[in-house]
Amino acid sequence: MPGEIYKTRMAIVIPFSLAVITLFTLWIISLLTSPLPYERLVIGALFFVAFFFFLETFFRNFVISSEGLVIRKFFRSKKLKWEEITHLGLLVLDRKAFALLTTTKGFHILSNNLSNFSEILRRIKEGLGDEKVDAQVASFIEHPLINNRPVRSAWLVVVITVAIIALRVYSL
């Protein structure tokens, strides 16, 4: 099922990957220098949780073709034919937007953290037809919102962990 592939925005992936790298560095430093076992445990747990979410974010993609959609996540994939999708709705909360795909087998949620989110909605709307799509979706396609909070949060984590690493290294 070849088609257009949409992934998580690189503006989110890049700082998130740097945050994971800095957490890993901080964990290694704590393993080598910290006499406190709980510090190693907490930083290691934070690193592994962040690493799992990074893998989930990095491998998530969305493929749209003439046959339907494929939602791929880390080690999971779900194929949806156009006939299986019964409704496309949209929920907007501040700058965050969620598309709700209701199908005959359940539902799937997409967020505007995907690249070209309004283009994804436009392509789904074309595949489904206007009768299965909320009016709010058409309005969103015309006036899309971009949520930059995850980007700012990831950069904040990078800055904080780099500061902690600098303090740890220079205090040795």
Total of domains in the chain = 1
If DSSP codes are grouped into helix, strand and coil, which group holds residue 89?
strand
Contact status, residue 152 vs residue 13, Cβ threshold 8 Å: no
**Structure tokens belonging to residue 143:** 């006036």
State the residue range of the domain holding 34: 4-170
Contact status, residue 62 vs residue 70, Cβ threshold 8 Å: yes
172 residues of the chain, pLDDT tens digit each: 567 899 999 999 999 999 999 999 999 999 998 788 899 999 999 999 999 999 999 999 999 998 999 999 888 899 999 999 999 999 999 889 999 999 998 899 999 999 899 999 999 999 998 889 998 998 899 988 888 899 999 999 999 999 999 998 888 6
Q: From the centroid of its chain, how far is CA 105?
A: 23
Instruction: Supply the DSSP string of 34-80, one letter for each residue.
Output: -S-HHHHHHHHHHHHHHHHHHHHHHH-EEEE-SSEEEEEETTEEEEE
Please tell me the pTM assigned to this model: 0.83
